[in-house]
Structure formats: structure tokens, C-alpha cells
């Protein structure tokens, strides 16, 4: 996981774009990756256990065929932005989630994650796939409810957002409204590496 300390991954981007001036600078510092180490998190192990069966159910229900994405990919223009999608389905990125919050559609951070995966990979479509779980569902043991409802979030098949002044930005705004405009604008403002580093350094000096 040491390689994740060198930039902003798709799973961190929600923390980055959600940061506000009144939030302690340590939040930005952690979001940038300087002090994080997620290698020992139980959620990471649980996700690795559940990924294969969820993909299998996804393929059964949809008829699609997925394959592992492979190594981490970086944005060629802004190499500090990277992503590791769970799988590819045709030309789409596929992100698999097994967290309980997914059953309640509490997914804003996940959607930022898929957006960055599309931006970095160049994929035109993205899918967020998860399981709706009952109270007896045990993720830690790697067991799963065979009757669980697979949720393919069709309304979340999003157009790729490219950092820059082009038609893709206007299409995204028209499709997703003002909330998506904020994502584009904040990513663009963070795209200049020099500004990014200066911002982190200044907030470090100011302290919490």
C-alpha cells in the first residue's frame, strides 16, 4: 500500500473535494496521503473476500462478463490522480461495494470514486455494484445471502468528466445538474500540482 502515499486515489477523492476552509488542515494532509496506511484495515480484507462472489452474481443477473482491471492506473496529464477499479466490463469501469451503507443508497463517496476511475482510465461509462444485505448477513466470515438483491445502479452510468474546457463538461452538467458542476470545478482547481502542494504546506504551518 506504500504506493498509495504518492497521490490521490479514487477512494480518497471524496475527502479531497469535500474539504472546506474551516476543516483542520490535518484533514487535507491525510487526504493527500502523507499519513495514511490502510493495509491493515478489516474493510480491505472483507472487500477482497467478497469481490469475487459479488462479481459472479453480477454476471449471472446481467449476462455481462467482467475481468479484473489489473494494476493501478494514473492520469497521464495529472499523475498524482490514480485509481484501481475492481473490474472492467466491456469498456466500462466496475466498482464493487459490500458495505452496509450501500443498502440504504448512502453512496456519495462511492460516486466520486467512480468518477475518478473513469477520468483516469478514459472509460466512458461506470457502474457501481453492490449487495443489499439482511441483518443476518456476515461479511467478516465471507459468507453471503444467496437471496441478496444485486443492485445495478443504472442511473449512475455516468459520462466521463475530463478536466478541461470542453464539451464533456457541459454534457455532464446538463445530465447531472449543479452538484456535478461542483465536482468538476473542484477537481480542476486541484489539478495544478504547484498550487496543490502550496495549499498543503500553508495549512500545515497554520495548524489545526
CATH architecture of 41-191: Alpha-Beta Complex (3.90)
Q: What is the pLDDT of residues 117-142, one digit of tens each?
A: 887 887 777 777 765 543 333 332 33
**36 touches 42 (CB < 8 A):** no
Contact between 124 and 159 under an 8 Å Cβ cutoff? The reply is yes
CA distances from 202 to 9, 23, 26 (A): 22, 14, 11
Quote the pLDDT of residue 14.
Answer: 60
Contacts of 8 (CB under 8 A, 6+ apart): 16, 31, 32, 33, 80, 81, 82, 116
What percent of the chain clears pLDDT 70, i.e. is strictly above it? 30
Assign 75 a pLDDT band (cuts: 50, 70, 90).
confident
What DSSP character marks residue 21? T
Average pLDDT of the chain, as a whole number = 57
CA distances from residue 34 to 109, 171, 204 in whole angstroms, order as listed: 20, 35, 12
Read off the pLDDT of residues 27-67 as tens digits, 9 standing for 90 and up. Answer: 445 545 444 555 566 666 666 766 777 777 777 766 778 88
Work out the pLDDT band at 100, boundaries 50, 70, 90. Answer: low
Least confident of 7-11, 16-20, 50-54, 93-97: 16-20
HSE toward the beta carbon, residue 161, CA cutoff 13 A: 26
CA–CA gap between residue 115 and residue 158 (Å, rounded): 8
> What is the pLDDT, as a whole number, of residue 198?
46
Confidence class of residue 202 from pLDDT cuts 50, 70 and 90? low
Identify which has the larger pLDDT, 184 or 201.
201
HSE on the CB side for 101, CA within 13 Å? Answer: 6
pLDDT digits (tens, 9 = 90+) for 144-176: 333 333 433 333 333 433 333 344 434 444 454
Residue spans of the domains in the chain: they are 41-191
DSSP 68-79: E--S-EE-SSST
Residue 87: pLDDT over 80: yes
Angle at 205 between CA 201 and CA 208, to 5 degrees: 110
Amino acid at each position: 500500500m506504500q504506493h498509495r502515499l504518492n497521490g490521490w486515489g479514487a477512494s480518497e477523492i471524496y475527502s479531497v473535494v469535500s474539504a472546506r476552509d474551516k476543516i483542520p488542515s490535518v484533514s487535507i494532509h491525510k487526504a493527500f496521503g502523507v499519513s495514511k496506511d490502510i493495509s491493515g484495515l478489516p474493510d480491505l480484507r472483507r472487500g477482497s473476500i467478497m469481490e469475487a462472489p459479488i462479481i459472479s452474481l453480477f454476471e449471472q443477473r446481467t449476462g455481462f462478463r467482467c475481468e479484473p482491471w489489473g494494476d493501478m492506473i494514473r492520469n497521464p496529464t495529472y499523475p498524482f490522480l490514480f485509481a484501481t477499479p475492481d473490474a472492467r466490463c466491456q469498456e466500462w469501469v466496475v466498482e464493487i461495494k459490500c458495505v452496509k451503507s450501500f443498502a440504504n443508497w448512502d453512496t456519495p463517496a462511492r460516486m466520486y470514486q467512480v468518477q475518478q476511475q473513469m477520468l483516469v482510465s478514459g472509460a466512458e461509462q461506470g457502474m457501481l455494484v453492490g449487495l443489499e444485505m439482511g441483518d443476518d448477513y456476515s461479511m467478516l466470515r465471507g459468507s453471503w445471502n444467496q437471496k441478496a438483491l444485486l443492485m445495478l445502479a443504472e442511473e449512475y452510468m455516468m459520462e466521463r468528466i475530463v478536466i478541461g474546457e470542453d464539451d464533456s463538461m457541459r454534457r455532464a452538467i446538463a445530465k447531472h445538474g449543479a452538484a456535478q458542476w461542483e465536482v468538476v470545478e473542484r477537481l480542476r482547481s486541484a489539478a495544478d500540482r504547484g498550487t496543490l502542494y502550496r495549499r498543503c504546506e500553508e495549512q500545515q504551518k497554520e495548524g489545526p
